[in-house]
Structure 1
Amino acid sequence: MLDAISPTSSVAPAAPPPAKRPRLAVLDGLRLVAAVSVVFCHYTASNDAWDQNAKQLFPFLHQFSQYGWLGVEVFFLISGFVICMSAWNKSLGDFVVSRVARLYPAYWIAIVLAVTVISIWPSVRYVRSWTDVAVNLTMLQEGLGVRNVDGVYWTLFIELKFYLLFAIVVGFGVTYRRCVLFCGLWTVASLAATVAGGDLLVMWAEPLYSPYFIAGIALYLIYRFGPTAVPFGILGLSFILAELTVTRRVARLTFDTTNEHHPIATWPAQAVVAVAFCFMTLLALGAFNRIQWRWLTTAGALTYPLYLLHQDIGLTVLHALRDDVPPYVLVFGTLLAMLLLAWLVHRLGERPLARLVERVMRNGMADLRRHSADPPPRRDRVSVPPVALPQPEPVGAGSSLRP
């Protein structure tokens, strides 16, 4: 079905590949903002590190940080954009190599550091079993019913499922129409999962988060091909669905103080989602192309390790020093320490390990292609060319048998 939709169809915009564009540095900055918002949510809206009411400790900051979890939704929106962009004109093997080399090196380092910290100081979390740690190294623990070593890892399994689904498009070749069809099919599957339920369909369709990934793909189509009706239609529908699903996310949240349920207002969460969609739309239309501040690239590089490292390690630090350091000083000091740790992990661990993983993966893909090729013809038999035998002379003119 995917292959039947040709990129030369009259329905699609006949746009050539775009000229080389500047790096989307603002996108890196937005990623860091999303990560920092998640950090503040865990540090000042949760009581895990304080053993008391965080709202009373941070009466002003808590009003905003209690919505910091929306950084995850922003991550998913950016992810749809970036994955579609990075997969264009790539083979399936290249796509797999790039995703593994991008996701796993920092993740493995973060697991080692988190397990070390919570094993020595099991104040806010502890290691249940080393089998759980080993399973976590695969990033598949959510699908296997195994507890995450660090609480933030739950989002990575959702990302992995998105990559697996989009790999179908990559396998056929990423085109405008295949992206549109993918967005349409995923939207239908998400609606069916919402209405009909079913664990398997809900697990793969991810109705709470699919609108963000789908909107990100549509935004990249706008960025690449221009503001046409089809991607804007997908974007608009995804925005409406995101506004609906975020209300369900709010309904699931509880920020406990004394084992009581403390609901939060829905409209600020919807407002944040609207601002994120508007910002990404402006970015897709090229509004921020001139912003090329170099520090934004560094900020983008720190985002992933900061997200992976901040929760268990940071909460352990907060818990250990909460009685000796003023709360605001401790929170901002811990954030700076986590940024420094993220930079060290990126420069000293993630980058060299990513190069190694990429080299190993590319060699593995080369072996896979080589051993999957058609076998050469067998040479165990010597082929002898046929010998031409003399043909009998036909009876007729010139024959010695003529009467």
Structure 2
Amino acid sequence: MTSAPLLTKPSLLRRRASARTGGSGALKSKRPRLYALDGMRLFAALSVMSFHWTAYVGIAGVWQGVTPKQALPLVNRMAAYGWLGVELFFVISGFVICMSCWGKRPGEFFVSRVVRLYPAYWAGIALTSSVVLNFKHFARLGAADGLNLTTILGNLTMLQTPLGMRHVDGVYWTLWVEMRFYLLFAVVVATGLTYRKVVAFCGIWTIFAVLAPQAGIPLLTTMAMPNESPFFIAGVAMFLMYKFGPNLLLWGIVGFSWILALTRLNSIKDMYVNVLGHPLSWNVMAAAVTLAFLLVLGAALGWFDWVQWKWLTVAGALTYPLYLIHQEVGWTLIHFLLTRGLGVKAALLAALATVLVTAWLIHRLVEKPLSKVLKKALDRSMATLRQASDEPAPRRP
């Protein structure tokens, strides 16, 4: 074979990149805003919420002794797979993180992640802790156990998992997964993001994720994230398709990640089978994972460019605070409404409306203003750090 693979021809890659960026290093595409991704994020959040509200068997007390399966059998069967919305979140995250930090310095990447994650998260902790501790009678049985000041303070760092502390709300486990992805990707950002480096990152991470379970090294497994990595890696490769155009190498990364994701389904599902109390169909799970890949891939390839509904921007903004507060607060609210004589459907609809409004209030009154203040302060800190780093070291006498 004398011809080099398509992606090993730098001149061809530069010509394609230049054609899409107008000769500059920044993306200069006439393609519209990816509103579809905002819609997908909301869909994923609602899917996870449906799982927690109508499929999780551990909330029989919340439902006044009636299981969700008895009250809403059809919804219960569908919601049993709602947890797969988390996997869709991870694919979207791989795409969006790569897109949002392209061309940014490490300090800018750090600031962007802090201001995006922490303000709404702190509000979620404050609200969830207050509701659970002040309405113990309506909260899930055991929700207040061990929820003391030390636990709350530990949760504020978002590092409660490595600190060995319980979560204020169980859904926060995914934030530790996201944090590890950011730490890994920060290594690439620190060296300067380029097409070649990001492709190499995808390949190296895939190798370590495959080998980690066999190595028997806990730290390696923790950072390699064998179960979650295929989703992030696929999302990153899909962004490269969006920015530089699809090609065989990127298709290979996405396809290989999809296969790995399917092979990991059995190990992922065990946790959910335990909280559901009944088996799950591998075929249904595989179809849902495939759909998650296809949705984000479709956004990358322009299949959903026709989606220009501006209200999806608001929907996307609500997704994160909604995800943070829907579980323990939602369960407590549902229990309270049921004890006040509302039927199951009415209680669920009222709870949904309440958490959506609360998520909007968190976004408008906490997340947006606090993010602005935090960003300005951190930007000044980064500027001082860069200035101090540029100063020559004092000479010794």
* Distance in structure 2 (CA, Å) of the matches to 1:231 and 1:256: 37
5 Å-filtered alignment, 1:102-141, equals: 102-122=116-136, 123-124=139-140, 125-126=143-144, 128=146, 129-141=148-160
What RMSD, in angstroms, separates the aligned Cα atoms of the two structures? 2.0
Matched residue, 1:29: 39
1:369 is displaced (CA, Å) by: 1.4
1:60 is displaced (CA, Å) by: 0.8
5 Å-filtered alignment, 1:152-301, equals: 152-254=171-273, 256=275, 261-301=277-317
3-state secondary structure, aligned to 1:31: helix
Matched residue, 1:386: none
* Distance in structure 1 (CA, Å) of the matches to 2:239 and 2:286: 23
Matched residue, 2:4: none
Matched residue, 1:79: 93
Contact 2:36 2:304 survives alignment (8 Å): yes
Matched residue, 1:397: none
Q: Tell whether 2:388 aligns with 1:371.
A: yes
Contact 1:127 1:149 survives alignment (8 Å): no
1:159 is displaced (CA, Å) by: 0.3
- Which of 32, 40, 59 aligns to 2:73? It is 59
Matched residue, 2:105: 91
1:325 is displaced (CA, Å) by: 1.2
1:322 maps to a residue whose letter is L
Matched residue, 2:376: 359
* Mean CA deviation greater in 298-307 or 363-372: 363-372
**Percent of matched pairs sharing the same residue:** 46
Q: TM-score, normalised by structure 1?
A: 0.88
Contact 2:132 2:332 survives alignment (8 Å): yes
- Which of 328, 332, 338 aligns to 2:345? It is 328
* Distance in structure 1 (CA, Å) of the matches to 2:372 and 2:363: 12
5 Å-filtered alignment, 1:371-390, equals: 371-375=388-392
* Distance in structure 2 (CA, Å) of the matches to 1:370 and 1:213: 34
Matched residue, 1:70: 84
1:87 maps to a residue whose letter is C
Cα deviations by residue, 1:28-79 (Å, 9 ceiling, x for unpaired): 0000000001111110001312243221111010111011101110000000
1:11 is displaced (CA, Å) by: 7.9
1:13 is displaced (CA, Å) by: 5.6
Q: Tell whether 2:334 aligns with 1:318.
A: yes
> Where does structure 1 lack aligned partners over 5 or more consecutive residues?
1-5, 381-403
2:305 maps to a residue whose letter is N
* Distance in structure 2 (CA, Å) of the matches to 1:376 and 1:96: 26
* Distance in structure 1 (CA, Å) of the matches to 2:393 and 2:161: 44
1:236 maps to a residue whose letter is G
Cα deviations by residue, 1:334-382 (Å, 9 ceiling, x for unpaired): 11111110001101111000001111111111121122223376699xx
* Distance in structure 2 (CA, Å) of the matches to 1:75 and 1:201: 23
Larger radius of gyration: 1
1:241 is displaced (CA, Å) by: 0.7
1:283 is displaced (CA, Å) by: 1.3
Larger % of helix: which?
2
* Distance in structure 1 (CA, Å) of the matches to 2:217 and 2:90: 23
Contact 2:87 2:292 survives alignment (8 Å): no
1:143 is displaced (CA, Å) by: 1.2
* Distance in structure 2 (CA, Å) of the matches to 1:132 and 1:192: 34
Question: Cα–Cα, structure 1 residues 23 and 202, in superposed 2: closer, same or farther, change >3 Å?
Answer: same
Contact 1:45 1:65 survives alignment (8 Å): yes
2:44 maps to a residue whose letter is A
Contact 1:45 1:255 survives alignment (8 Å): no
Contact 1:247 1:270 survives alignment (8 Å): no
* Distance in structure 1 (CA, Å) of the matches to 2:286 and 2:396: 70
* Distance in structure 2 (CA, Å) of the matches to 1:252 and 1:120: 30
Q: TM-score, normalised by structure 2?
A: 0.90
